[in-house]
Amino acid sequence: MVGTFYTSASPESPAFATVGTKVGADSIVCIIEAMKVMNEIQSEISGTITEVLIENGEAVEFGQPLFKVKTA
């Protein structure tokens, strides 16, 4: 296990990225908690989120896809 996937900075905060969100190469899309450190994850490409592949609070592995993105 690498870490835990979170859609927002806190339970009260809105999600960084949901279906329909337009992202750029520097957009923060989620947070991965690893060893009690919160790591902001940036999109690697520009486009529109078409699917979120993991649920909030689930464990993630290294290299696991988190989102599907339609590029422009």
Long-range contacts of residues 49-56, Cβ cutoff 8 Å, at least 24 apart = 49/17, 49/18, 49/19, 49/20, 49/21, 49/22, 49/23, 50/19, 51/19, 52/7, 52/17, 52/18, 52/19, 54/5, 55/5, 56/5, 56/6, 56/7, 56/8
pLDDT above 80: residue 72: no
CATH 2.40.50.100 for domain 3-70, yes or no, is yes
pLDDT, position 2: 87
pTM for the model stands at 0.89
pLDDT above 70: residue 41: yes
Return the domain boundaries, the chain.
3-70
